[in-house]
Amino acid sequence: MSSYKLYYFDARGRAELMRLIFAYKDVTYEDVRYTRETWPSVKPSFPTGQLPCLEVDGKKLSQSIAITNFLARKYDLYGADIWQQARIDEVIQSIMDFITAWVRAVHEKDETKKEELKKKVGEEDYPKFCAKMEMWLKENGEHGVFVGNDITVADMAVFDVMWSTRKHSVNNSVFDDDKYKLLMANFKKIETHPKIAAWIEKRPDTTV
């Protein structure tokens, strides 16, 4: 059995999908969290000087996509064939596109431009993202998941970003439950899974 240490900040952020995988598969790991104050002193010990980082039996792996893909493959959450794997990649890349727009708006320094970007995220990017997810769920038929007939890392990745947007809102955007019924059902499917629900209940309550 492998020994895992997951290093990240005291936040959900880019490490939360990995934590969801661990929870769903009931995998024991050490959840190492740094504050902004403690991080600088340990930064040189990490291969790329970045977080998240996953230590597997003493070997360190960096980059969130690499770590997520490693865990998804190891725990059979990455599809049954190369087509399903490609569709999973498609879903996750779409998530990254949305998050990029969201983060750009949040970190914009010019206040006028920031408000413009936030408005665009709420009125254009977020509905477009939701519509795309709804379309892919519909294409996959009656299974209620994005790929195949069971939960994969794609479902957990969408749940992760949807949880944050529903909890904190995305710049005053409104999620239309009636318009995105399949997406809402998928969200509930993950949220109410006993192991995921147990993790959400006990995880640190952070703002991001």
Domain boundaries, the chain: 4-75, 82-193
Q: What is the CATH number of domain 82-193?
A: 1.20.1050.10
Query: Average of pLDDT values for 107-121?
Result: 90
Q: Residue 21 — very low, low, confident or very high, per pLDDT cuts 50/70/90?
A: very high
CATH classification (class only), 4-75: alpha beta
174 has pLDDT over 70? no
Q: By C-alpha distance, which of 188, 199, 97 is closest to 151?
A: 188
* Terminal C-alpha separation, the chain: 31
What's the pTM value of the predicted model, to 2 decimals? 0.93
Name the average pLDDT for the chain: 92
Quote the tokens at residue 52: 């998240």
What percent of the chain shows pLDDT beyond 90?
77
Say what the pLDDT of residue 207 is: 79
